[in-house]
Structure 1
Amino acid sequence: MLRDANPRELDQIVVENVLAFDEGFWVRLAARIDLCKSDDDKAWFSQLDFFFKDYEELAENVMNIVDRLVHKTDEKIEQSTDVLKAIISPVMHEGENATWPPRDPEALKLMEKEISNREKEGQLDEGFLSEVNAQLRQAKQDGDKPGLQAMLQKVLQLFASNFLQKRSYAYKGGEVIVPESFLESVIKAPENEWNKLLLDGLTVGKGNVSPEEFYAVIKKRIERVLIRTEGGSYQQRILVEYLKEIQARAEEVVKVLQGPTI
């Protein structure tokens, strides 16, 4: 397959196997490279000299593609890191450990604005989300950076909120769908305001949306996310987790207001 591929096809085959981590592909390639570099083997198969030249050139081409891919990946990681630094810069202070919540209430608004601007520029892609998740995972493993962990989680929350606000399902046929409208008000709100919104909006509190109606529109929104996003992507996972966080908070509020069941 590799020998018969043209340059464009060769690039695609190598990239697909790198991304899929096809162990067999790399074992076969390593075997070809070792075979081509062995003087003893070349002498043994001297009558097939054209064979070695062909594979030697092929192996070199493949490794050049891998080198370019690695270089491109390194560049992308650096770009994603720079974007993340810009987003959290309003709450970071030089020479200090990350703290949360920020001392300046305006800092969170600046983070939200930066995320909105970066999203419009197309910079909050899978590479960016992968970088945030990697740093969040490292912060959890370290266990001694709760401020950084909370900050990175907030970045993901703000990303999800900003993304989910782009499409509204609160109106149909000129009429307001109250449960959908209520869900969208929670999606837009800062996480520390969810409790009050839920108390004011659900029927167990002061509102007119039943918990069952609220859970139903959350389920429907999750289904829409699953349909409209790439399966297994960071984007899909983060959006679904955000909606599930809202439902979990609603369930907590309902449980407290209804009291223990007998």
Structure 2
Amino acid sequence: MAAKTFMAMPLTSSPPLLSTSSSSSHARLEVSFHCPGGFRSLLMRWGIGMYGVMGLRPFSSTSLKDLNRRRTLICAASQDAEEAFKKTVEVDRLIDKLRDANPKELQKLVVENVLAFNEGFWIRLAARADTCKSEDDKKDYEELAISVMSIVDCLVHKTNEKIDSATDILKGILNPVVDEVEEITWPPRDPEALKQMEREVIRREQEGQLDEGFLAEVNAQLRQAKEDGDKPGLEAMLQKVLQLYASKVLSKRSYAKKGEEVLKAEELLETIIKAPEEKWNKLLINGMTVGKGEISPEDFYAVTKKRIERTLIRTEGGSYQQRILTEYLKGIESRAEEIVQVLQGKQQQ
């Protein structure tokens, strides 16, 4: 890589290191590096005036207000200076770690601190280079800057490749239900196409392809379809993909047996989790006491809420996976409540 030199730049002159831009297909990460043309000093000179005390005079109420206002401004300035100092210390620690690291350690440090490489970092790096007494030390800082930016650049490209990969996976899943002219109809004209799509979801989930990147891609496409409002077939198709994913993941763990005892409410919930949405009504009516079953609505609500709690504990907070799985369970809960309300209303008539 050709050698580059860097100089400090004003904080407001450049965009953040990492920025996200979204399109109708998917979000991409774009990187902007600050690669100025030469290190220069950022020293700031302060002029301090001397005030002579000509004599003592009593304070008026106006003087007291002015004094209080000055004290407030001084406190605010002190807090800002303290925060700036703390940030400078943190950046210096990171720079020292990066300088002392070997190539393998450097890559790990950059990955762990990727969001720290903003304008403030480059300005501080330039300031430290300016204070170097030898040209060799300055060269070390230049080489460090080039190495860090090269690693960050690779990270961004990998992220974009991963997004492209998620798009290809989604296309592969939807391929059975999209006809030759890519016309989207829902439900598919061929019932076998839906089964093929389901098998594709199961296969790719078992292979570990349906990760957070994939779920983010599906959510982005679904959000765009809803905003457009003219693709109801695509919207229903993407919803089905998320339902199949949630059904597959939630079915991996069973709570229907406690020793030799079969917990009927848990068993009913797990049957519904595995079933297509269009069969939920029948299963709920046949399973609960308000219909033809033996499970009270209260017991069914209790096991559903318990499963939601377990899902929240076992998944990463704020992740797409957590949101999709809990929304699926809440959908079952809401459907049960609707059916109970309807059937109880009929019984009272």
1:32 is displaced (CA, Å) by 5.4
Note closer, same or farther for the CA distance 1:155–1:48 as it changes in structure 2 (3 Å cut). same
Q: Which amino acid counterpart does residue 334 of structure 2 have in structure 1? A: A
Q: What is the number of equivalent residue pairs in this alignment?
A: 251
Write the deviation string for residues 91-132 of structure 1: whole angstroms up to 9, x where unpaired.
Answer: 111324322221222222111111111111111111211111
Give me the whole-angstrom Cα distance separating, in 2, the residues matched to 1:180 and 1:74: 42
Distance 1:193 1:46, change over 3 A: closer
Aligned residue for 2:187?
101
Distance in 2 (CA, whole Å) between partners of 1:61 and 1:32 is 16
Q: 2:108 matched to which residue of 1?
A: 12
**Counterpart of 1:215?**
301
Paired amino acid for 1:27:
E
| Higher helix proportion | 1
Are the structure 2 counterparts of residues 54 and 104 from structure 1 closer, same or farther at C-alpha, using a change threshold of 3 Å? same
Q: In the alignment, what sits opposite 1:29?
A: 121
Which SS does the other structure have where 1:203 is aligned? coil
1:164 maps onto 2:260 in alignment? no
Q: Give, in angstroms, the shift of residue 228 of structure 1.
A: 1.7
Instruction: Compute the TM-score of the two structures, normalised by the length of structure 1.
Output: 0.87
| Long gaps (5+) in structure 1 | none
Query: 1:32, 1:59 within 8 Å by CA — same for their partners in 2?
Result: no
Q: Using a 3 Å threshold, how does the CA distance of structure 1 residues 137 and 6 change in structure 2: closer, same or farther? A: farther
Match of 2:314 in 1: 228
C-alpha distance in structure 1 between counterparts of 2:345 and 2:113, whole Å: 55
Aligned equivalents of 2:132, 2:255: Cα separation in 1 = 71
In the other structure, the counterpart of 1:55 is: 141
Q: Which moved more, 1:96-105 or 1:128-137?
A: 96-105
- Counterpart selection for 2:272 from 165, 173, 186: 186
**Partner Cα separation in structure 2 for residue 4 and residue 83 of structure 1:** 41
The CA deviation at 1:31 is 2.5
Corresponding position: 1:86 with 2:172: yes
Question: Contact between 1:29 and 1:59, CA under 8 Å: does it hold in 2?
Answer: no
SS of match in other structure, 2:309: helix
In structure 1, what is the Cα distance between the partners aligned to 2:132 and 2:254?
70
Could you tell me the TM-score, scaled by structure 2's length? 0.67
Where 1:259 maps in the other structure, the secondary structure is helix
Q: Deviations over 1:183-231 (max 9, x none)?
A: 0000010011111111111111111111111111111111211222222
User: Cα–Cα, structure 1 residues 46 and 163, in superposed 2: closer, same or farther, change >3 Å?
Assistant: closer
How far apart, in 2, do the equivalents of 1:127 and 1:171 lie?
34
Gaps of 5+ in 2: 1-93
1:239 Cα deviation from its structure 2 partner: 0.7
Amino acid of the residue matched to residue 174 of structure 1? E
Change (3 A) 1:118 1:202: same
Identical residues among aligned pairs (%): 67
Residue identity matched to 1:28: G
Shift of 1:48: 4.9
> Separation in 2 of the partners of 1:229 and 1:248?
22
Structure 2 counterpart of 1:3 = 99
Across the aligned residues of Structure 1 and Structure 2, the Cα RMSD in angstroms comes to 2.3
Give, in whole Å, the separation in 2 of the partners of 1:97 and 1:13: 48
Once the 2 structures are TM-superposed, how far is the Cα of residue 47 of structure 1 from its aligned partner? 4.1
Q: Distance in 2 between matches of 1:149 and 1:228?
A: 29
Alignment match, 2:241: 155
Deviations, residues 226-255 of structure 1 (Å, cap 9, x unaligned) = 222222221111111110111011111111
Counterparts in 2 of 1:62 and 1:175: CA distance versus 1, 3 Å = same
Deviates more, 1:62-71 or 1:177-186: 62-71
Alpha-carbon separation, structure 2, partners of 1:8 and 1:217: 49
How far apart in 2 are the matches of 1:214 and 1:241? 17
